[in-house]
């Protein structure tokens, strides 16, 4: 009797939450199709219809910019896995990006490894860095863990400067490392397709992980670690898994980036505070704890400053630098201000705002429609450090 | 499963006051045994050489005034705190200082006094989490089986109508039921229930007591912690009273009711 | 951030003078961060930006307008305090119950301020002076500016300490830091207390920025190291405790001076961070943090 009603309720419920294929999946698939079709539209001009104003030409330059943005999107997804899902806010994710990139570049330049070999080594070392930082840091919670992630890259950066003979110091490694599979500026479409394929693959992997049981445990850890332990799950195991997975993917993004025609192994590109900050901005703008949102945010953050560069005709002297710190100084400032504004208006991130806007427009009433990633706007963000405060003030529960 | 030692010392109320600290337990004195358990915070001794044993399939009351060290003892036994000294055995095996998730997997579950639901998901999803395997690559949750099982458990504790509510929408008693369902989902042999009756209305106390009794009938051993004896004494088979971190008395509800030490600790008021 | 020129010989008293001067500056740097963290429960990652703003206000008023170092210092104190208050009212107040939002917004603000300053003033450091001349103290050459910075830092910290512990507003502030709910119950308006704290934190950071700029020049990225320092000091000293922060500042200052004196000046800034990590791993609640005690 009782079993019938219980399972009956469940089925009824799942029927209701899947009325056909949700619009957001269709939109996502369309987005990927557009990305895949871009190289075919080479030399087309997209604009506002007014000649000379905000015209975007899809040329090799643009494809390379987009490639870099895709790797940054990958990096943002890796941040989201650990910070958005398990709530361990990482302030120094650039460390993994840099470890992956420098390892691969050094192996390639110093020892003649082909990028196809050196990149996996970079990924492994980034994962090892994840273990080195993550395992001891597991004893720490909330702001203390974030402090370690804030400090770790600074320590590593100091070591890099200390041993400039190996790491090239402020100027970076010169000449730059080889291109992946030898695809240079001339084969921009290939460079782009490699990035797109990897981007889709990583997104699929992360979606799978975060939508599996492990993902549910991640978000539960974000809510209440003790409650997770009290149902027989080892929070440390899941946290370290998220941390190392995230580190490895961050390393992969860094290593791949460094072997694009655009990438160089300088620490301002790989390591600067800007990289650490931008990845947070990207994931938060897109929506923490969604993966897809982080990916969109990453592409946005990676691309917009460049577009600002290229579209604003008055600013001469285009120098492609990853992360928006280009010679046209003002773009990152504008970008930061736009971000502040968006954060102020859409605190839950762009993705959630769009989904919720769409749902409202179509008259859906259920509040937990974004339930696949377990969070309503704002609340993910609110809670993570809501927990911090309790820990800082001494948990009066115990 | 002999239980001679504590039977010997707790034969009468006067025996308990005489030598409560000298008794000593071994691994086979009960399903859960703590011997000379001690926990210090800095200089503060919260639990002082405290020993007790839980017998199989009993409902043991764990009673003490606020601040007596109940929750600390509880946290030491369930692996949330590492004890400063002493030994804990569970089903004959030493488990002192084992992390909480291992204790749970060994069959010792707990509820929290201050309810700790996961606020971001529905009641049934809260329970479903407890059914997730402690394994990184598990997709059982995606197949729907766990949700059904979780729904059954919710029904078992009386949350059938609240499956898809958020915990924040539940009344106080509902949150307690959720805590119980989540603990039951780990398939425990022994369940520690922390202060279930605090803040409950009289009728609710009765309903929860009935639920606890039913669970015992189904084979569970239960330890119920409370600072208030009124609702508790009618529910339990046996009680251990703790005050200032050490054992004050032990015995049947009747013995506890008549124990002068206990009456004094409660200023004669709460019995 | 230690001035390497003053540290070639190493008599203990010399080292002590260096430690006192550097640590008091660090205490001043960290105080605002501590206050906001302690009372508001949020991490103000724009704290470094306040320091930078302070330095540049002093530069504009003192050097560009030619009104002199002390007018610049006063302007830094006032303007940064006001800006910080306006920032709180305009942006932070609305989201102060969401610490992560505060963190991210202040982080982005910090980046925006850095970029704006770099755009307007360029990336060359600006020289800032207060007093000229130097004095020999226990075998250590100390500039009058450093001496003045030490004295004013000590004065400001002392004043804050007295304010918090003995004035009515100060007690309300401490009450808010301990329990928002409890403070509200006795009629303390958390919002007003928070505004006071943000203004005070800004003003103190402005002054700290001027002193830092007299040591190393004012530059757009000068706020980053102090931010990390503040974070470290707060963790070492325990959350929201002024006394703890001063102690934490002395630990960090001492380590930094000792590193420069006896190890390698190129490792400046690294040792305190390493020690911090070690401390965090051994005592996650901080050196002087509160211990968890059951109620």
Q: Are residues B87 and B203 in the same domain?
A: yes
Q: Of A41-45, A132-136, B204-208, which one has max mean pLDDT? A: B204-208
| pLDDT band, very low/low/confident/very high, at A16 (cuts 50, 70, 90) | very low
The CATH code of the domain that includes B262 is 3.40.50.300
Out of B187, B212, B234, pick the residue that ends a domain. B187
Q: Which residues 284-303 of chain A have a CB within 8 Å of chain C?
A: 284
Nearest C-alpha in A relative to C176: A393
* Cα–Cα nearest to A283, from A323, A216, A339, A217: A339
Q: Are residues B91 and B196 in the same domain?
A: yes
Identify the residue among C283, C294, C295 best suited for mutation to test binding to B, counting B beta carbons within 10 A and taking the highest: C294
Furthest CA-CA distance within chain C? 59
Average pLDDT for A77-95: 87
Range of the domain at B122: 116-187
Q: Are residues B165 and B201 in the same domain?
A: no
Cα(C252)–Cα(C106) distance, integer angstroms: 25
Percentage of residues of chain A with pLDDT beyond 90? 14
Cα(C193)–Cα(C177) distance, integer angstroms: 10
Tell the residue number behind the tokens 């030399």, with chain if given.
Answer: A43
How far A250 CA sits from the closest chain C CA (Å)?
A: 20
A45 strand-pairing partners: A57
How far C88 CA sits from the closest chain B CA (Å)?
A: 29
Q: Are residues B94 and B212 in the same domain?
A: yes
Residues C246 and C155: beta-carbon distance below 8 Å: no
Cα(C219)–Cα(C209) distance, integer angstroms: 10
Q: Does B263 touch chain A (CB under 8 A)?
A: no
Q: Which residues 177-206 of chain B have a CB within 8 Å of chain A?
A: 182-183, 185-186
Contacts C273 to A, Cβ<8 Å: 151, 154-155
User: Quick one: pLDDT at residue A232?
Assistant: 86
User: Quick one: pLDDT at residue C210?
Assistant: 93
CB-nearest partner of B138 from A13, A212, A223: A212
User: Quick one: pLDDT at residue B236?
Assistant: 87
Q: Are residues B5 and B76 in the same domain?
A: yes
Q: What is the DSSP letter of C223?
A: T
How far B223 CA sits from the closest chain C CA (Å)?
A: 21
Out of B160, B187, B214, pick the residue that ends a domain. B187
Residue B150 sits at φ, ψ, to 5 deg, of -65, -40
Query: Per-residue pLDDT tens for A285-322?
Result: 787 888 888 898 888 888 877 776 665 544 444 444 33
Q: Are residues B136 and B147 in the same domain?
A: yes
Nearest C-alpha in A relative to B71: A398
How far C110 CA sits from the closest chain A CA (Å)?
A: 9
Taking an 8 Å cut-off on Cβ atoms, the answer to whether C293 and B67 are in contact is no
> How is residue A20 written in tokens?
């056909």
User: Quick one: pLDDT at residue A171?
Assistant: 64
Q: Are residues B131 and B232 in the same domain?
A: no
Tens-level pLDDT at each residue, chain C (295 residues): 445 444 445 677 788 888 888 899 999 989 899 888 888 778 888 999 999 999 999 999 988 888 888 899 999 999 999 999 999 998 888 877 777 678 778 888 888 898 889 888 888 888 888 777 777 777 777 888 888 889 999 999 888 888 888 887 777 777 777 666 667 666 677 788 889 889 999 999 999 999 999 988 899 888 888 888 888 888 777 766 788 888 889 888 888 888 888 877 777 777 767 777 777 777 665 555 543 332 2
Q: Does C281 touch chain B (CB under 8 A)?
A: no
How far C251 CA sits from the closest chain A CA (Å)?
A: 17
Lowest mean pLDDT among A230-239, A259-268, B134-143, C9-18: B134-143
Q: Are residues B183 and B206 in the same domain?
A: no
User: How many residue pairs from chains A and C have C-beta atoms closer than 8 A?
Assistant: 118
Taking an 8 Å cut-off on Cβ atoms, the answer to whether B134 and A228 are in contact is no
Residues A213 and A225: beta-carbon distance below 8 Å: no
Tell the residue number behind the tokens 């790491």, with chain if given.
Answer: A167
| CB-based burial label for A112 (10 Å; 0-12, 13-18, 19+) | exposed
Taking an 8 Å cut-off on Cβ atoms, the answer to whether A233 and B101 are in contact is yes
Q: Does C9 touch chain A (CB under 8 A)?
A: no
Give exposure, C20-42, as e/b (b: 16+ Cβ within 10 Å).
bbbbbbbbbbbbbbbbbbbbbbb
Residues 6+ apart with CB under 8 A from A96: A78, A126, A129, A130, A246, A247, A248, A250, A251, A254
What is the SS3 assignment for B221? strand
CA A323 to chain CA centroid, Å, is 13
Q: Of A14-18, A387-391, B237-241, which one has max mean pLDDT? A: B237-241
Residue A347 sits at φ, ψ, to 5 deg, of -65, -20
User: Quick one: pLDDT at residue A378?
Assistant: 42
Nearest 10 degrees: Cα torsion A81, A82, A84, A85: 80
Domain count along chain B: 2
Nearest C-alpha in C relative to A145: C280
Out of B187, B206, B232, pick the residue that ends a domain. B187
The C-alpha angle with vertex C38 and arms to C168 and C183, in degrees rounded to 5, equals 45
pLDDT at A53 over 60: no
Q: Are residues B224 and B161 in the same domain?
A: no
User: Quick one: pLDDT at residue A379?
Assistant: 46
Percentage of residues of chain A with pLDDT beyond 70? 63
How far lies A241's CA from each of A127, A128, C114, C280, in Å? Answer: 10, 12, 36, 22
Residues B232 and B225: beta-carbon distance below 8 Å: no
* Cα–Cα nearest to B177, from B151, B156, B198: B156
* Cα–Cα nearest to C99, from A385, A84, A393, A86: A385
Residues in chain B with pLDDT values less than 50? 1-21, 270-271
Contacts C175 to A, Cβ<8 Å: none
How far B7 CA sits from the closest chain A CA (Å)?
A: 32
| pLDDT band, very low/low/confident/very high, at A7 (cuts 50, 70, 90) | very low
User: Quick one: pLDDT at residue A62?
Assistant: 81
What is the DSSP code string of A159-205?
HHHHTHHHH-GGG-SSSPPPPGGG--GGGHHHHHHHHHHHHHHHHHH
Q: Does B244 touch chain A (CB under 8 A)?
A: no
User: How many residue pairs from chains B and C have C-beta atoms closer than 8 A?
Assistant: 13
Query: Per-residue pLDDT tens for B20-47?
Result: 445 678 777 888 888 888 888 877 788 8
Cα(B167)–Cα(A77) distance, integer angstroms: 30
Contacts A396 to C, Cβ<8 Å: 295
> How is residue A209 written in tokens?
């992980």
Residues 6+ apart with CB under 8 A from A339: A281, A285, C108
Q: Does A229 touch chain B (CB under 8 A)?
A: yes
Residues 6+ apart with CB under 8 A from B182: A227, A230, A231, B111, B117, B126, B127, B129, B130
Is the peptide bond preceding residue C82 cis, with omega within 30 degrees of 0?
no
Contacts C294 to B, Cβ<8 Å: 41, 46, 67, 69, 71-72
Q: Are residues B177 and B208 in the same domain?
A: no
Cα(A124)–Cα(B21) distance, integer angstroms: 56
Furthest CA-CA distance within chain A? 76
* Cα–Cα nearest to A320, from A372, A260, A363: A260
Q: Are residues B11 and B47 in the same domain?
A: yes
Tell the residue number behind the tokens 């699929």, with chain if given.
Answer: A204
Look at chain A and count its residues.
398
* Cα–Cα nearest to C173, from C206, C200, C153, C207: C200
Furthest CA-CA distance within chain B? 59
Q: Of A14-23, A381-390, C204-213, which one has max mean pLDDT? A: C204-213
Taking an 8 Å cut-off on Cβ atoms, the answer to whether B69 and C292 are in contact is no
Strand residues in chain C grouped as ranges (E) = 134-137, 140-143
Residues A101 and A254: beta-carbon distance below 8 Å: yes
User: Quick one: pLDDT at residue A313?
Assistant: 40
Cα(C54)–Cα(C202) distance, integer angstroms: 9
pTM for the whole thing?
0.78
Lowest mean pLDDT among A192-206, A238-252, A310-324, B232-246: A310-324
Domains of chain A: 2-397 (1.10.3470)
Q: Are residues B221 and B87 in the same domain?
A: yes
User: Quick one: pLDDT at residue C203?
Assistant: 94
């Amino acid at each position: 009797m009782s079993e019938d009603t219980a399972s009956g309720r469940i089925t009824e419920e799942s029927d209701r939450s899947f009325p056909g294929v949700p619009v957001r999946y269709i939109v996502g698939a369309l987005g990927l199709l557009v990305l895949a079709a871009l190289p075919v539209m080479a030399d087309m001009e997209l604009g506002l219809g007014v000649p000379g104003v905000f015209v975007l030409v899809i040329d090799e330059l643009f494809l390379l910019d987009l490639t870099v943005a895709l790797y940054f999107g990958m990096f943002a997804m890796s941040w989201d896995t650990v910070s958005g899902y398990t709530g361990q806010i990482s302030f120094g994710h650039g460390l993994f990006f840099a470890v992956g990139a420098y390892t691969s570049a050094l192996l390639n330049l110093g020892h003649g490894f082909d990028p196809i070999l050196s990149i996996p080594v970079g990924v492994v070392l980034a994962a090892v860095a994840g273990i080195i930082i993550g395992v001891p840091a597991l004893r720490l919670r909330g702001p203390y863990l974030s402090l370690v992630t804030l400090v770790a890259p600074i320590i590593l950066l100091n070591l890099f400067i200390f041993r400039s003979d190996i790491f090239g110091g402020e100027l970076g490694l010169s000449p730059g490392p080889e291109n992946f599979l030898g695809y240079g500026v001339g084969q921009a479409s290939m460079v782009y397709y490699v990035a797109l394929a990897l981007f889709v693959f990583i997104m699929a992997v992360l979606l799978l992980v975060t939508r599996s049981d492990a993902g549910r445990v991640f978000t539960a850890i974000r809510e209440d670690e003790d409650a997770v332990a009290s149902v027989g799950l080892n929070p440390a195991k899941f946290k370290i898994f998220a941390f190392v997975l995230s580190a490895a993917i961050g390393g992969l993004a860094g290593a791949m980036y460094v072997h694009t025609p655009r990438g160089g192994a300088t620490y301002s590109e790989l390591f600067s505070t800007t990289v650490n900050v931008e990845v947070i901005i990207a994931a938060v703008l897109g929506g923490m704890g969604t993966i897809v949102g982080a990916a969109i945010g990453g592409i946005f953050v990676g691309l917009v400053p460049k577009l600002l560069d290229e579209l604003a005709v008055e600013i001469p002297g285009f120098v492609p630098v990853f992360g928006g710190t280009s010679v046209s100084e003002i773009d990152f400032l504008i970008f930061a201000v736009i971000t502040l504004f968006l954060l102020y208006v859409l605190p839950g991130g762009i993705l959630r705002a769009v989904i919720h806007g769409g749902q409202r427009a179509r008259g859906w009433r259920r509040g937990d429609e974004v339930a696949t990633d377990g969070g309503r706007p704002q609340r993910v963000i609110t809670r993570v450090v809501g927990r911090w405060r309790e820990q800082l003030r001494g948990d009066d529960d115990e | 499963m002999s239980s001679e030692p504590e039977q010997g010392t707790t034969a009468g109320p006067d025996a308990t006051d005489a030598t409560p600290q000298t008794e000593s337990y071994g691994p086979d004195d009960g399903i859960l045994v703590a011997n000379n358990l001690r926990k210090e915070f800095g200089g503060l001794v919260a639990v002082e050489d405290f020993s007790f044993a839980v017998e199989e399939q009993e409902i043991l009351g764990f009673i003490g005034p606020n601040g007596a060290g109940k929750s600390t003892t509880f946290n030491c036994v369930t692996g949330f705190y590492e004890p400063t000294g002493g030994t804990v055995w569970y089903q004959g095996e030493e488990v002192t200082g084992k992390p909480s998730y291992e204790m749970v997997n060994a069959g010792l579950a707990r509820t929290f006094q201050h309810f700790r639901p996961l606020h971001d998901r529905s009641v049934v999803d809260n329970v479903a989490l407890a059914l997730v395997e402690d394994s990184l690559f598990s997709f059982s949750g995606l197949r729907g089986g766990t949700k059904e099982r979780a729904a059954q458990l919710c029904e078992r504790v009386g949350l059938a109508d609240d499956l898809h509510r958020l915990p924040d929408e539940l009344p106080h008693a509902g949150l307690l039921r959720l805590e119980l369902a989540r603990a039951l989902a780990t398939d425990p042999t022994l369940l520690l229930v922390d202060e279930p009756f605090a803040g409950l209305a009289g009728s609710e106390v009765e309903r929860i007591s009935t639920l606890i009794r039913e669970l015992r009938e189904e084979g569970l051993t239960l330890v119920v912690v409370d600072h208030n004896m009124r609702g508790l004494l009618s529910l339990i088979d046996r009680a251990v009273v703790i005050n200032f971190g050490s054992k004050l008395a032990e015995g049947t509800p009747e013995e506890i009711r008549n124990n002068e030490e206990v009456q004094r600790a409660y200023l004669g008021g709460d019995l | 951030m230690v001035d390497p020129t003053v540290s070639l010989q190493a008599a203990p008293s010399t080292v002590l003078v260096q430690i006192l001067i550097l640590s008091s500056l660090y205490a001043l740097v960290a105080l605002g961060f501590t206050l906001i963290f302690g009372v508001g429960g949020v991490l103000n990652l724009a704290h470094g930006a306040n320091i930078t703003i302070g330095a540049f206000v002093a530069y504009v008023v003192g050097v560009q307008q030619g009104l002199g170092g002390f007018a610049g210092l006063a302007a830094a104190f006032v303007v940064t305090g006001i800006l910080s208050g306006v920032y709180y009212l305009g942006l932070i107040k609305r989201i102060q119950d969401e610490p992560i939002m505060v963190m991210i917004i202040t982080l982005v603000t910090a980046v925006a301020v850095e970029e704006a300053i770099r755009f307007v003033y360029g990336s060359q450091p600006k020289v800032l002076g207060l007093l000229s001349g130097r004095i020999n103290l226990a075998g250590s050459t100390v500039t009058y500016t450093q001496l003045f910075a030490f004295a004013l830092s000590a004065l400001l910290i002392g004043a804050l300490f007295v304010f918090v512990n003995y004035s009515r507003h100060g007690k309300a502030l401490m009450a808010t830091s301990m329990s928002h709910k409890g403070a509200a119950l006795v009629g303390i308006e958390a919002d007003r207390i928070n505004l006071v704290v943000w203004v005070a934190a800004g003003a103190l950071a402005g002054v700290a920025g001027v002193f830092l700029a007299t040591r190393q020049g004012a530059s757009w990225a000068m706020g980053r190291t102090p931010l990390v320092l503040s974070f470290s000091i707060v963790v070492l000293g325990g959350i929201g405790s002024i006394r703890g922060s001063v102690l934490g500042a002395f630990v960090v200052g001492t380590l930094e001076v000792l590193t420069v004196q006896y190890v390698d000046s190129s490792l400046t800034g690294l040792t305190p961070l390493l020690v911090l990590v070690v401390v965090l791993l051994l005592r996650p609640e901080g050196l002087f943090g509160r211990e968890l005690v059951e109620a």
